[in-house]
């Protein structure tokens, strides 16, 4: 997934309809990098035969796919979504696309990043599994493929949970799953020769209409100055004044 780079300062558009993306530095979503790395690792261990990198978005998404190819994916699929469709593209639409592609490609494993850093939805992996009726191993911090099932160690609030699910399955990558390798220049050059297929959502029978409408985007409110008080009584009085107590 191609998102605004995490170090860039985000600016809301003057008409409050969204954030400024024109010319802004974009990179692959950090969790997607981890997902690609895991897939390539599985191929290197000879547990899977082929790694296909998929991205939904405008023309520039091809660069993101190219990076995945340079990391070791075998071929890419670019699902072209641009303009207004891209602005309203959300987890529901992406998971429908993923489900359609998984059936078409007869995939055994879908590995996604747990969430995108621009919308923080954390829904695509789960929705994809539901649409396909496949088991899901989300927030994975360790993945072991063993024949027709996968052992997944999941990071949950209480600690770590280990589950075993059958393939085909959907996994979503969490931060500690691995450290992604660099896309080195010789690999980028080789990646130029790898194929990226172009697909339209309509070809997959996917309807992109969004069920959500963004009404407004605002910057977080400016942090107000605090007030210092001398005694506990002052504090209680001020809280009472503000109607908090």
Partner 1 sequence: MFPASRYACKAHRCIRALTTLQTDSAAPQLYTSLHRRTCSSVSTPRITTHYTIHPRDQDPRWEGMEMERFADEADVVIVGGGPAGLSAAIRLKQLANEQEKELRVCLVEKAPQIGAHTLSGACLEPSSLIELFPDWKERGAPLNTPVTEDVFSIFTEKHRIPVPILPGLPMQNHGNYIVRLGNLVRWLGEQAEELGVEIYPGYAAAEVLFHEDGSVKGIATNDVGIAKDGSPKDVFERGMELHAKVTLFGEGCHGHLAKQLYKQFNLRENCEPQTYAIGLKELWMIDEKKWRPGRTEHSVGWPLDRHTYGGSFLYHLNEGEPLVALGLVVGLDYSNPYLSPFREFQRWKHHPFVASTLEGGQRIAYGARALNEGGFQCIPKLTFPGGLLIGCSPGFMNVPKIKGTHTAMKSGMLAAEAIFPKVTAENLDSETAGIHVPEYSESLKNSSVWKELHAVRNIRPSFHNYFGLYGGMVYTGIFYWMLRGKEPWTLKHRGMDANQLKPAKDCKPIEYPKPDGKISFDLLSSVALSGTNHEGDQPPHLTLKDDSVPVARNLAIYDGPEQRFCPAGVYEYVPVETGDGMRLQINAQNCVHCKTCDIKDPSQNINWVVPEGGGGPAYNGM
Give the binding site for partner 1 (CB under 8 A): 5-9, 11, 14, 22-25, 27, 179-182, 184-186, 188-189
What's the Cα-to-Cα distance from 115 to each of 1, 106, 177, 187, 191, rounded to whole Å? 10, 24, 14, 27, 26
Q: Which is nearer to partner 1, 33 or 174 (CB)?
A: 33
Nearest distance from residue 154's CB to partner 1, in Å? 24
Residue 113 host element (H or E): strand 109-113
Q: Which is nearer to partner 1, 22 or 230 (CB)?
A: 22
Q: Which is nearer to partner 1, 215 or 225 (CB)?
A: 225
> Is the Cα torsion angle 72, 164, 98, 174 positive or negative in sign?
negative
Nearest distance from residue 60's CB to partner 1, in Å? 10
Crossing angle for the helix pair 124-132 and 91-105, to the nearest 10 degrees: 50
Q: Distance between CA atoms of 61 and 100, rounded to whole angstroms?
A: 19
Nearest distance from residue 200's CB to partner 1, in Å? 24
Q: Which is nearer to partner 1, 7 or 212 (CB)?
A: 7
Strands (E), 157-210: 159-166, 169-173, 196-199
Q: Which is nearer to partner 1, 27 or 138 (CB)?
A: 27
Q: Distance between CA atoms of 201 and 97, rounded to whole angstroms?
A: 7
Nearest distance from residue 24's CB to partner 1, in Å? 5
What's the Cα-to-Cα distance from 242 to each of 92, 185, 235, 237, 245, rounded to whole Å? 43, 60, 11, 9, 8
Nearest distance from residue 37's CB to partner 1, in Å? 10
């Amino acid at each position: 997934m191609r998102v605004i780079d995490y170090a860039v300062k985000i600016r809301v558009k003057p008409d409050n309809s969204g954030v400024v993306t024109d010319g802004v530095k974009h990179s692959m979503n950090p969790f997607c990098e981890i997902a690609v790395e895991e897939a390539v690792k599985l191929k290197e261990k000879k547990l899977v035969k082929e790694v296909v990198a998929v991205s939904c978005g405008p023309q520039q998404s091809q660069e993101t796919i190219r990076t995945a190819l340079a990391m070791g994916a075998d071929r890419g699929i670019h699902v072209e979504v641009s303009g207004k469709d891209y602005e309203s593209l959300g987890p529901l639409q992406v998971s429908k696309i993923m489900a359609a592609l998984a059936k078409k490609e007869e995939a055994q494993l879908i590995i996604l990043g747990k969430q995108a850093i621009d919308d923080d939805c954390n829904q695509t992996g789960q929705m994809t599994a539901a649409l396909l009726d496949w088991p899901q191993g989300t927030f994975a911090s360790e993945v072991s493929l063993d024949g027709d099932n996968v052992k997944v160690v999941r990071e949950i609030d209480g600690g770590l949970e280990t589950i075993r699910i059958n393939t085909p399955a959907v996994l979503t990558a969490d931060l500690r799953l691995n450290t992604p390798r660099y896309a080195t220049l010789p690999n980028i050059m080789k990646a130029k020769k790898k194929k990226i297929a172009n697909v339209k959502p309509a070809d997959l029978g996917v309807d992109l209409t969004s069920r959500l409408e963004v009404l407004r985007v605002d910057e977080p409110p400016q942090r107000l100055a605090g007030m210092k008080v001398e005694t506990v009584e002052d504090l209680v009085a001020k809280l009472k004044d503000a109607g908090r107590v």
